[in-house]
A and B are shown apart, each in its own frame.
Chain A
Amino acid sequence: NAGVTQTPKFQVLKTGQSMTLQCAQDMNHEYMSWYRQDPGMGLRLIHYSVGAGITDQGEVPNGYNVSRSTTEDFPLRLLSAAPSQTSVYFCASRPTGYNTEAFFGQGTRLTVV
């Protein structure tokens, strides 16, 4: 059972480059989210989706774009990478229902130089 799969695990970008972090889940969960983890800041919500075709902004959405064309996939796009986007990114999914817990991927460590 794969759960939530994130690719790549590691990435180095130059300032100004763009890239897409991939996230896929095989649990048929409606809710998916992207978080970034920074030292002393915990996990901060970037964008989230409550179903295919529906996305919304979290706490720190600037510089990121998302789309949700299928239930399984929720890619995160960095439009023009900046050193401030150096972080560990986690994708999570939750099943439909009241107060369900999230399942996280293993993370993508991104460095922007």
Chain B
Amino acid sequence: DQQVKQNSPSLSVQEGRISILNCDYTNSMFDYFLWYKKYPAEGPTFLISISSIKDKNEDGRFTVFLNKSAKHLSLHIVPSQPGDSAVYFCAASSGGYQKVTFGTGTKLQVIP
């Protein structure tokens, strides 16, 4: 039972344009959501997070939007840069101290 789903395995975007990565979840108990970025042969690194009490969190070129009623979140990257090419994992947790559930990942390619 995949509680966190990233339905697009891959995405290609032109440099300078917006990248939108989507994530859906099924567990209504999730109250904290994170995005991680992973380059080949490296471990994932934390990118941005959002609490369920918010619907938007912004950090530079990265913005995460949360739609609780739809159980959907998205990561926007504007403008996209070639260095953003990586696999992006959506993750969710409940209760603050509980284990984190990851999605299957979306491979983003930013074309120069």
Contact = CB atoms under 8 A, between A and B. Distances in A.
A45 to B, nearest CB: 6
B34 A104 contact: no
Contact of B49 (A41, A44, A101): A101
A58 B102 contact: no
B93 A58 contact: no
Interface stretch (B14-22, B36-44, B61-69, B76-84): B36-44
A74 interface: no
Interface residues of A, number: 25
B102 A35 contact: yes
Interface residues of B, number: 26
A105 B97 CA distance: 20
Contacts of B101: 45, 59
Contacts of A99: 32, 49, 51, 93, 96
A43 to B, nearest CB: 4
Main secondary structure on A side of the interface with B = strand
Contact of A106 (B4, B42, B49, B96): B42
Contacts of B99: 33, 45, 48, 58
Interface of A: 4, 31, 33, 35, 40-45, 48, 50, 58-59, 90, 92, 98-99, 101-107
18 contacts: A33-B99, A40-B9, A40-B104, A42-B102, A42-B104, A45-B102, A50-B97, A90-B44, A101-B49, A102-B36, A102-B100, A103-B46, A104-B43, A104-B44, A105-B43, A107-B41, A107-B42, A107-B43
Interface of B: 4, 6, 9, 32, 34, 36, 41-46, 49, 51, 89, 91, 93, 96-97, 99-105
Given A42-B105, A45-B100, A101-B34, 16 more contacts: A33-B100, A35-B102, A40-B9, A42-B104, A43-B105, A45-B101, A48-B99, A90-B43, A98-B96, A99-B93, A99-B96, A101-B49, A105-B43, A106-B41, A107-B42, A107-B43
